[in-house]
Amino acid sequence: EAQVTQNPRYLITVTGKKLTVTCSQNMNHEYMSWYRQDPGLGLRQIYYSMNVEVTDKGDVPEGYKVSRKEKRNFPLILESPSPNQTSLYFCASSPRDRVGYTFGSGTRLTVV
Amino acid sequence: AQSVTQLGSHVSVSEGALVLLRCNYSSSVPPYLFWYVQYPNQGLQLLLKYTSAATLVKGINGFEAEFKKSETSFHLTKPSAHMSDAAEYFCAVSAKGGGSNYKLTFGKGTLLTVNP
């Protein structure tokens, strides 16, 4: 089954404790991206990657890092999480035609 | 730059009534347009998409949307609401053409409530 898999689904952590949210897709998509969803703000792009070793900032990149060492994986790293990063996070991938976006099931992160 | 405006953060309809969720976009290049639905505690599910073929697009669960270039709109409709349609709906735009960021720009969402 074609899918984007995120882990974990739920995470509660403390301020300053580094964490990684994993994202993996099995569709050989070139493009991958991370979004965060906050009430009243919709979804905003954090980072994106056009291919292996090619990443760039989205609209709200502060406090986040990403890497793209393999085509299928695009982890989101929070080196020092803060409470304002409490949010629902989605990973998405797409082929070059831009019309086949597939989203993961989401990761609900709470930073206390 | 591209943007999406969804009119009405909350729409309430009676079961069996027409559903109309409004979306207007701005884009410097011809866009691709999408509607996604999010049920409580779930991820995003694609309802339908416009990719410059037919301007009237039919999606899943009886929803459809019409692309109107002159009005820069892509409103979502369903003739008869079901209780199961209660969810949050997001309109999104992605610009065609050059550039390496296939960013989906989302509206802020419309919460649809269906009353019995």
Cα–Cα distances in Å, from B23 out to A58, A101, B13, B38, B66? 23, 19, 18, 16, 10
Q: Kindly list the residues of chain B whose beta carbon comes within 8 Å of any beta carbon in chain A.
A: 9, 32, 34, 36, 42-44, 46, 49, 51, 90, 92, 94, 96, 100-104, 106-109
Alpha helices, H only, chain A: none
Residues B108, A41: C-beta atoms closer than 8 Å: yes
Number of H helices, E strands in chain A: 0, 11
Q: How far apart are CA B85 and CA A25, in angstroms?
A: 29
User: Residue with structure tokens 């930073």?
Assistant: A111
With contact defined as beta carbons under 8 Å apart, do B93 and B31 qualify? yes
Closest Cα of chain A to B11: distance in Å?
A: 14
Which chain B residues are Cβ-neighbours of A106 within 8 angstroms? 42-43
With contact defined as beta carbons under 8 Å apart, do B3 and B25 qualify? yes
Nearest to B94 by CA among B37, B36, B29: B29
Type of residue found at B93: V
How is residue A63 annotated by DSSP? T
Distance of CA B96 to the CA centre of its chain: 18
Average pLDDT of the segment spanning B67-93: 95
Q: What percent of chain A has pLDDT over 70?
A: 100
Q: Is the dihedral of CA B30, A47, A67, A110 positive or negative?
A: negative
Does position A8 have pLDDT exceeding 90, yes or no? yes
Average pLDDT of the segment spanning A88-107: 89
Strands B87-95 and B105-106: antiparallel
Cis before A8? omega within 30: yes
Q: Is A40 on the interface with B (CB under 8 A)?
A: yes
Q: How far apart are CA B6 and CA B11, in angstroms?
A: 11
Helix H or strand E encompassing A28: none
Structure tokens at B52: 């410059």
pLDDT per residue as tens digits for the range A50-85: 889 999 999 999 999 999 999 999 999 999 999 999
B103 confidence band (pLDDT: 50, 70, 90): confident
Strands A76-78 and A65-66: antiparallel
Whole-number pLDDT of residue A95: 87
Average pLDDT of the segment spanning A27-45: 93
